[in-house]
Amino acid sequence: MESNIVSATAVMRGGPLYPNIQGEVVFNQTKFGVEVTADIYGLPPFTRQDNLAISPFGFHIHEGEDCNAGSLENPFPNTLGHYNPYNQPHGNHAGDFPILMPLSNGYAHMSFLTDKFTVEQVLGKALVIHQSPDDYRTQPSGNSGVKIACGIII
């Protein structure tokens, strides 16, 4: 995949449930694919609520282009579904990222390489952190819980 855009950034902001989340995710085009590097602060500690794990965190590109925070009942309502331009089953969506695994102080750093999209193809898309880990099986979105942070890739 060729791309004229060599880098982009998503500034992440927490939503109604966890307003202190903040960070930056950088997308760099390389000859092998896109290197994605995330530095996220303020993630909540591991816990369980109603038999649901909070942390590690699902992490995805979504089709929407709007990070309006929404409400406690419906955070980030306009992010739409996962970015999936090739109609793959969940676990293999172009927008499916590895889970974010924070340290005990709420900081997470991650870097990985993907060849499922170019930087240019994801410009303007919403990048979302979910409160629970992605199971990479449940269709269509991995059962990763509510959206807790969002940023637009620009």
Report domain extents, the chain: 7-152
Residue 101 burial by Cβ neighbours in a 10 Å radius (0-12, 13-18, 19+): middle
**Helix, strand, or coil here: 121?**
helix
**Helix, strand, or coil here: 19?**
coil
Q: What is the CATH number of domain 7-152?
A: 2.60.40.200
Q: What confidence tens digit (pLDDT) does each residue in 22-60 have?
A: 999 999 999 999 999 999 999 999 888 777 778 899 999
Q: Could you tell me the pLDDT band of residue 1, with boundaries at 50, 70 and 90?
A: low
pTM of the model: 0.93
Residues 131, 39: Cα–Cα separation, whole Å: 16
Q: What confidence tens digit (pLDDT) does each residue in 101-124 have?
A: 999 999 999 999 999 999 999 999
How far from 10 is each of 54, 60, 132, 137, 145, CA to CA, in Å? 23, 12, 21, 26, 21
Closest CA to 16 of 73, 64, 57: 73
